[in-house]
Amino acid sequence: MAVVGAGISKFGAFADKTSRDLLVEAFQSMRGSVDRGFDPREIEALYVGNFNSELFENQGHSAPVMADWLGLTPRPATRIENACASGGAALRQGILAIASGLYDLVLVGGVEKMTGLPIEQATSVLATAGDAQYEIPAGFTFPGLYAAMATAYAAQHNLPLERLQRLLAEIAIKNHENGALNENAQFGKTIAEVMEKAREKAIMNGSRPPGWESVYDFLADMRANPVIASPLRLFDCSPISDGAAVVLLAAEDRARAFSKNPIRIIGSGQASDGALHGRSSLTSIQSARAAAREAYEMAQISPRDVKLAEVHDCFTIAEAIAGEDLGFFAQGEGIRAAQEGITNRDGRLPLNTSGGLKAKGHPVGASGVGQVVEVWKQMRCEAGARQAARDIDLALTHNVGGTGQTCLVHIFER
């Protein structure tokens, strides 16, 4: 089967939009991407990734609501919830629906409206993806859980925390540089631009100009980049976001009827694991390793064949761990990949050319589908200024739920 259309809304904070508005925006974007056009009435089923519309918007039973607003009733509509991996899980259900022979044309969407709540309430909603009996009562939030992973990573690989923070900063810098070139990103500025804006604001307020000589000085300044959960700081964390993404899947024998250049899905893997507190290791996500093995085996490729990947960087440490879990780097080497230029747009293996969750934004139900939209654009050479330097004929997406209780890996071929 193949992706024959892909679209995305702007990611950010939109007081005047609901999740249904955002999904419609992404759907209209997708319609414009289908080379040969299509009649929406041809869509046979809808799968929507959404984490928690009940608590974020007081709206349950959201899939038929989405179908109604897209004009797709009475077609079957199903919501998929797997925390931050809801979008990737919805994609897999769409793949299985076509592979079963039941449908030939399926719409897969992902959406979340998160900014309608104060930050402390949004944090509490996100915490429901952790272990509510053991982790959350102990005071953990997701920054705290990933901070524990970062601290364990530093200890395992003999990295002083200051050195770890510098290497994590390289990941943030790279992803913000990519996000600055993404018209739909929540953070459309490089960290250097953010620094200069902060400097200008200080001068306008009559304050003494900060003495930052580089972005590293800026990121080391506790006032500009405070610690959220040590060793993670503000610029290590993805934001609270609103947004939606949509892809159109077609059976292999129908793909060319819609697209001049369809992107085939040749591998799909899904796996699960227990909560973080019960694992033998905090420096690797076993569900990601298992899902990757399944996807590689299905696609009959190895990690070295992948030319580009969108990985789940909800925190900067997550990108480093993902690169190792996916087999791109040896243990302890994923943390250095950004500093060494390997994962830049002109590097050997570009990671998160969209800006990733870190800069593009992280409306959790939409993130897994949003990754596919970026892969679609890169593989069709439609990513504009952020187009990767090398030809991308094989790409991968990696979407994690919680701290790895769920992981989806998908592989795409042009």
Domains in the chain: boundaries:
2-118+240-413, 139-236
pLDDT band at 381 (very low <50, low <70, confident <90, very high): very high
> Which CATH homologous superfamily contains domain 2-118+240-413?
Thiolase/Chalcone synthase (3.40.47.10)
Contact 3, 265 (CB under 8 A): yes
pLDDT given at position 91: 99
The token pair at 300 is 């009959």
61 is catalytic: no
Over pLDDT 90: what percentage of the chain?
98
Each residue's pLDDT tens digit, 2-43:
999 999 999 999 999 999 999 999 999 999 999 999 999 999
pLDDT given at position 117: 96
pLDDT given at position 206: 85
pLDDT for 265 beyond 90:
yes
pLDDT for 44 beyond 90:
yes
Identify the active-site residue in 176, 237, 312, 362. Answer: 362
- Residue that is written with structure tokens 């793949």 in the block: 95
Amino acid at 183: E
Residues 224-237 as b/e (b if ≥16 CB within 10 A, e otherwise) read bbeebbebbbebbb
Task: Please tell me the distance from the alpha carbon of residue 38 to that of residue 321, in angstroms, as a whole number.
Answer: 40
SS3 category, 107: strand
Contact 26, 109 (CB under 8 A): yes
Q: What is the mean pLDDT of residues 73-97?
A: 98
pLDDT for 208 beyond 90:
no
pLDDT for 190 beyond 90:
yes
Task: Please tell me the distance from the alpha carbon of residue 378 to that of residue 111, in angstroms, as a whole number.
Answer: 22
pLDDT band at 223 (very low <50, low <70, confident <90, very high): very high
Strand partners, 8: 245
Amino acid at 179: G
Type and span of the H or E element at 408: strand 406-413
pLDDT for 207 beyond 90:
no
Q: What is the mean pLDDT of residues 220-229?
A: 96
Each residue's pLDDT tens digit, 322-335:
999 999 999 999 99
pLDDT for 169 beyond 90:
yes
Each residue's pLDDT tens digit, 352-369:
999 999 999 999 999 999
| Rounded (to 5) percent helix, strand, coil in the chain | 40, 20, 40
Question: What's CA 221's distance to the chain center, in Å?
Answer: 28
Contacts of residue 343, Cβ cutoff 8 Å, sequence gap at least 6: 174, 319, 323, 337, 349, 350, 351, 352
Contact 407, 85 (CB under 8 A): yes
pLDDT for 197 beyond 90:
yes
pLDDT for 224 beyond 90:
yes
pTM of the model: 0.97
Q: What is the mean pLDDT of residues 155-162?
A: 97
The token pair at 227 is 């610690």
Task: Please tell me the distance from the alpha carbon of residue 276 to that of residue 285, in angstroms, as a whole number.
Answer: 9
pLDDT given at position 251: 98
pLDDT for 209 beyond 90:
no
- Residue that is written with structure tokens 């994923």 in the block: 334
List C-alpha distances in Å: 287 to 50, 97, 270, 293, 405: 20, 23, 8, 10, 7
In a 13 Å sphere around the CA of 329, the CA atoms on its Cβ side amount to 22
277 is catalytic: no
Q: What are phi and psi of 376, to 5 degrees?
A: -55, -50
